[in-house]
Amino acid sequence: MSESLLAAALFPFERVASDLADLPIAARRALDHAGARLSLDGWRSLSIDLRRRVAVYGAATVVDIGAVTVLLRRAQPGPQTIDRVTDPDPITPPAPMTRALGAPRSLDGRTWARLRPLDRYALAHAHRRSVARNDSNILSEAFDFIVPRVSSAPPPRSVPPPAPRSPGEARAESIRPAFEDPVVREVERAAAAADAGRARAAQSPGGYYQSSRPPFDARRRRRVGSAGSAGAAALGAGPGARAGVGPSASGAPTSDLPPAGAASEAGALSSHLSSSGEARMVDVGAKEITARRAVAAGSVRARRETLLRLTRNETPKGEVLATARVAGIMAAKRTHELIPLCHPLPLTKVAVLLDVDVANQRVNVTAIAETVARTGVEMEALTAVTVACLTIYDMLKGIDREMVVSEVRLLEKSGGRTGPWRREEP
């Protein structure tokens, strides 16, 4: 790792040792963005290299939450899940902090906006510590290092506009990490292997999650019996398989069957239809019980004045964000009542995260749904996001009827037969 990257992530007034035995402010920002709380013992259980990487991720303009989460899996004891804590408003400094600074150390909006996100987070963190310890020197020391450095920096030079890029290229550029991190890939592989081992252990004799029915592959083999490849092909064709619809004597598929390599896809599609073509709830009783997780996101675009009133809690219907969070959680729990053919699931976790982005004039909504079951929780996460967005609209429509709910999408899922998946395109 480049030492310059690490140097940019640490502040002299933190007085953190070179081995980062105590959490630096940048690491605290990474944990807050990832919605994780880590004990000091857990932090020190990480190698020095991993601690440095977490700090560097926390210093980035946009924290790579996925990478931070993967690194934290190495901690013993592991992190606790909390609500995500976002950065302070990039436009207006917190009023309690400006009052605490007083006249000698005034902080106007223009200077505040020029700070790095980590600088703004560090000042807000220093303010909280100064209040908790009743020591104003903590905030003053942070201010005296951060603000003069930014105020004395030359204004940015004008540069020609970049060449037009496709949406995919723009997103790839926005999420590109500050450095290539082979350690993250190694930790991801180790974590995936550990998750697979736990899933196998749960299905072993004496495991917690036992199915009264044999695994799907075993049942499939018994049904096929001695029919060989012809019987397997007929079974893969779904409930509608009949004489004349199957492989020919030479083994080649007839025109009624999908091309080679598409059998699994066709089977997955046909499982939602009865033999007469009617929609039905899929029988998932033969599937393995595994830990499943889905993350979905969406946004509500609104006028800047609307969002400023929202941040100041000056809205006609009261607590907008708290109401939207509860609405999203309740909606996830009732997804099977709203979406036809969805299975009711024993949800182990539903988290709805709300981020008021005044600069981009939107409220970003993210939902995380988890379960240990035989089918996935994608619809629960998407339903939570949608209902939370609609609740925000309902709470604010009295002052802004031009709001737009948009970009409701699945970001990632894990667990089940298909394994992990993550959205790459914008």
The mean pLDDT value for 64-79 works out to 89
| Whole-number pLDDT of residue 147 | 86
Neighbour-count burial of 31, counting CB atoms closer than 10 A to its CB (0-12 exposed, 13-18 middle, 19+ buried): buried
The mean pLDDT value for 381-398 works out to 95
The fraction of the chain above a pLDDT of 90, given in percent, is 32
Token code pair at residue 42: 């857990």
Mean pLDDT value across the chain: 75
Which residue type sits at 21? A
Most confidently modeled range among 192-201, 384-393, 415-424: 384-393
Residue 237: is its pLDDT beyond 50? no
Instruction: Specify the 3-state DSSP secondary structure of 364.
Output: strand
CB 362 within 8 A of CB 299: yes
- Residues noted as catalytic: 394
pLDDT band at 159 (very low <50, low <70, confident <90, very high): very low
The mean pLDDT value for 375-389 works out to 94
Tell me the C-alpha to C-alpha distance, in Å, between residue 118 and each of 53, 123, 182, 274. 15, 9, 24, 56
Neighbour-count burial of 363, counting CB atoms closer than 10 A to its CB (0-12 exposed, 13-18 middle, 19+ buried): buried
| Whole-number pLDDT of residue 177 | 41
User: How far is 386 from 324, CA to CA, in rounded Å?
Assistant: 10
User: How far is 150 from 327, CA to CA, in rounded Å?
Assistant: 42
User: How far is 354 from 310, CA to CA, in rounded Å?
Assistant: 12
The mean pLDDT value for 113-118 works out to 89
- C-alpha angle with apex 74: 191 to 68, nearest 5 degrees? 85
| Whole-number pLDDT of residue 416 | 83
| Whole-number pLDDT of residue 268 | 42
Which residue type sits at 245? V
Burial readout 78-107 (b: 16 or more C-beta within 10 A, e: otherwise): ebeeeebbbbbbbebbbeebbebbeeeeeb
| Whole-number pLDDT of residue 394 | 95
| Whole-number pLDDT of residue 231 | 39
